[in-house]
Structure 1
């Protein structure tokens, strides 16, 4: 039983790895998630608020993985099924879009107060090292997001 569980966890980790390595939007989701998590400290959020932010930031990449699964499952079907396959792909992408919009709205509702925004601005303007940290994060994020797809080159 434990062996089967560990095997299924291995499959799940492989799926996450494939999503990160092959899907640019998944990498964007991860960069945004880490950015939001770091900046939560500057806002007066309750534990519940933090839990909601963490939950929705996990849901966006989870939806992205589901979208990727649908896209791969219905990739290049025969002539008879091409239209339903396209509809399935579009619908899955729509689910990701709705979840992303919801996550952004929740972030603005919970982290849109002026005092928190001032705290963020103060953090980056008070010390050069903090600003350099932000610039380094932006550069590293760009490199991570634009990472070449390692499998598509082989195809």
Structure 2
């Protein structure tokens, strides 16, 4: 029988994995920053429920695949510290999966947001008049996300040396 707290521990371990990946993987930080920017844009442009579902699913898929890519890279490095064509194939294939999902998310973003761009100024002013505090909060969130992306805000594990990838 499993330990009574094993379900809760699974969430803790998953959170540690996400945090570690955010601290060590630049591409994941890029995806999170873009997701926050898209969320801010979605709020400004008042996306429909269906559009929100599509956007959230697209970014969830991209981030999940980025986490899997990180896991595949770590396992390949562990299993084959020296250069090996199968390790390279595993790493490249996992990275390709992230790229395919990111391109699909980009296409979705273009379909959802490009038609709304001519109304951006109007939508922004409407939101500003409705809630200037919310607009400022969105700006702060984006600033923190960009700080994480560019290394201005300290990250967990920043001083740890990341294993060199082999190719």
What TM-score results when the alignment is normalised by the length of structure 2? 0.74
Residue matched to 2:89:
87
**8 A Cα contact 2:37 2:142, kept in partner:** no
The one of 9, 12, 17 aligned to 2:11: 9
After superposition, give the CA deviation of every residue in 1:52-86 in whole Å (9 maximum; x if it has no partner).
1111122211111000000000016166x810010
Cα offset, 1:121, TM superposition: 6.5
Residue matched to 1:52:
54
Cα offset, 1:154, TM superposition: 10
Partner of 2:159: helix, strand, or coil?
Answer: coil
Deviates more, 1:90-99 or 1:41-50: 41-50
**Mapping for residues 1-155 of structure 1, pairs under 5 Å:** 2-43=4-45, 45-75=47-77, 77=80, 82-114=84-116, 115-119=118-122, 134=139, 140-147=144-151, 149-152=158-161
Deviates more, 1:95-104 or 1:114-123: 114-123
Count of residue pairs the alignment pairs up? 152
Segments of 5+ residues of structure 1 without an aligned counterpart are none
After superposition, give the CA deviation of every residue in 1:7-63 in whole Å (9 maximum; x if it has no partner).
111111110011111111111111111110011123353211111111112221111
More helix by share: 1
Deviates more, 1:92-101 or 1:107-116: 107-116
- What RMSD in Å do the two structures reach over aligned CA positions? 3.2
Segments of 5+ residues of structure 2 without an aligned counterpart are none
**8 A Cα contact 1:24 1:146, kept in partner:** no
The change in CA–CA distance for 1:153 and 1:100 in structure 2 (over 3 A counts) is closer
The change in CA–CA distance for 1:153 and 1:104 in structure 2 (over 3 A counts) is closer
Partner of 1:150: helix, strand, or coil?
Answer: coil
Partner of 2:77: helix, strand, or coil?
Answer: coil
